[in-house]
Amino acid sequence: MNLFRTTLLAAAAATAVLATPMAMAQGAKLKVGLMLPYTGTFAALGVAIENGFRLYVQEQGGKLGGREIEFVKVDDESDPSKATDNVNKLVKRDNVDVIVGTVHSGVAMAMAKVAKDTGTLLIVPNAGADAVTGPMCAPNIFRSSFSNWQPGFAMGEVVAKKGHKKVVTITWKYAAGDESVKGFKEALEKGGGQVVKELSLPFPGVEFQALLTEIAAAKPDAVYTFFAGGGAVKFVKDYAAAGLKKSIPLYGAGFLTDGTLEAQGADADGLFTTLHYGDSLGTPRDSSFRLAYAKSYKLQPDVYAVQGYDAAQILGTGLAAVKGDVSKKAEFAAAVQKAKIDSPRGPFTLSKAHNPVQDIYLRQVVGKENKVVGIASKGLTDPARNCRM
């Protein structure tokens, strides 16, 4: 090709872009940056979130708000020290239109900071960091999952009602563990109980032995815990192996037994947990979701799959209102704010801080299922402390 022809072609291309910026913006693919853990203790959670997200997009014919979706993926390794670089790659190098992520609260806080600073749309499909819909809340930040406070608070009420007075807590020492315990403690104390000891180990450690020995020595009425993913599998097995399951009832935020039951086997049997999803809801909405998920992925869905699916629903709701033009941020936010999200968990709305207002179920492990045995807290709203927007 000669130089003259190349120049002409380039000029024609440039003119096309200049002449029809709106048409291009809406006709071009929408770039979704998936920043999730694909390695480490939360790897399976990241995969379930992506699966759920893709399932909804596929059900919509591959388009949201009239735009085809293109994915760019980053493995965040659940490593907060790499989080800012990772999210900046998506925003600055890949020029994504929206970021979807992540699982780990510490990583999510770094993502929220970048989203707030750059105005990039962020939808959090798991990480419960209270700050994301608290002090860091913003018009362009949404969450399809929960705040760490929510399942913790709901379980505090349950444990208090059961009449347990002295409780030991055990978790990973980072935002999610700390905040889950804090929510639990708030409700337990209101109900007349007391946290007598708070045990923790660094994330993602699984050396539980010394801590289990401390629990045995303290002889509390009950134990409350937050663990998830691979760490949750090991904790439940170690708790049983140490002989504690027979003597001290174990309660948890539902992540303890979600997506983990195959690996935990009988050691999880009978455990009570609180979460915004369960395996036996039996509603038409959930049943059709579960069937579609199982068909697509040859896997049973879990809470993470639901949160990924609902992240796509939130994005689809906002995009439909702005006809695919993500630059219309106020209209996008207003549409999402008014919407009732038709989630497999049951319909939910978003609070002013953009966190789900939702029922928290009480579940009990029966065989390979987190069977819903009641509603621990109806329409629970995160207090969104220090969110100004």
Binding site for ligand PHB (CB under 6 A): 42, 103-105, 126-129, 148, 176, 228, 255
User: Which CB sits closer to ligand PHB, 39 or 327?
Assistant: 39
| Integer Cα distance of 84 and 86 in angstroms | 5
**Measured from the CB of residue 123, what is the shortest distance to ligand PHB in angstroms?**
15
Nearer to ligand PHB, 52 or 128 (CB): 128
CB neighbours of 83 closer than 8 A, spacing ≥ 6?
Answer: 76, 106, 107, 110, 111
Report the nearest approach of ligand PHB to the CB of residue 387 (Å): 17
- Residue closer to ligand PHB by CB (options 154, 326) is 154
Shortest distance (Å) from residue 60 CB to ligand PHB: 27
Greatest alpha-carbon pair distance for the chain in Å reads 85
Output 149 or 332, the one with its CB closest to ligand PHB: 149
Q: Which is nearer to ligand PHB, 103 or 155 (CB)?
A: 103
Q: Which residues of 181-212 are buried (b: 16+ CB within 10 A; e: fewer)?
A: bbbbbbbbeebebebebbbbbebbebebeebb
| H helix intervals, the chain | 3-19, 21-27, 43-59, 83-88, 105-118, 149-161, 175-190, 209-218, 229-241, 244-247, 261-264, 284-297, 303-321, 329-338
Q: Cβ 230 to ligand PHB, closest distance in Å? A: 11
Nearest-approach distance from CB 238 to ligand PHB, in angstroms? 18
**First-residue to last-residue Cα distance in the chain:** 56
CA–CA gap between residue 65 and residue 336 (Å, rounded): 13
- Report residue 160 as tokens: 């208090």
> What does each C-alpha distance from 368 to 148, 232, 244, 325 come to in angstroms?
25, 15, 21, 43
Range 328-356 burial, b when 16+ CB lie within 10 A, else e: beeebbebbbebebebbbbebebbebbbb
Least Cβ distance, residue 310 to ligand PHB (angstroms): 15
Give me the least distance between CB of 253 and ligand PHB, in Å please: 7
Q: Specify the residue for token string 């819903």.
A: 372
Is 258 or 267 the residue whose CB approaches ligand PHB more closely?
258
Output the residue with the shortest Cβ distance to ligand PHB: 228
183/193 with CB nearer ligand PHB: 183
Q: In the bound complex, what is the minimum distance in angstroms from residue 286's beta carbon to ligand PHB? A: 20
Residue bearing tokens 């209209």 = 331
Least separation in angstroms between residue 227's CB and ligand PHB is: 8
Q: For tokens 């993500």, what's the residue?
A: 326
For residue 102, the minimal CB distance to ligand PHB (Å) is: 8
Closest CB to ligand PHB among residues 148, 343: 148
What's 19-63 look like in SS3? Answer: HCHHHHHHHCCEEEEEEECCCCCCHHHHHHHHHHHHHHHHHCCCE
Radius of gyration of the chain (CA): 22
Q: Of 41 and 351, which has the nearer Cβ to ligand PHB?
A: 41
Q: State the Cα torsion 137-140-143-144 to the nearest 10°.
A: 160
- Whose Cβ is closer to ligand PHB: residue 127's or residue 376's? 127
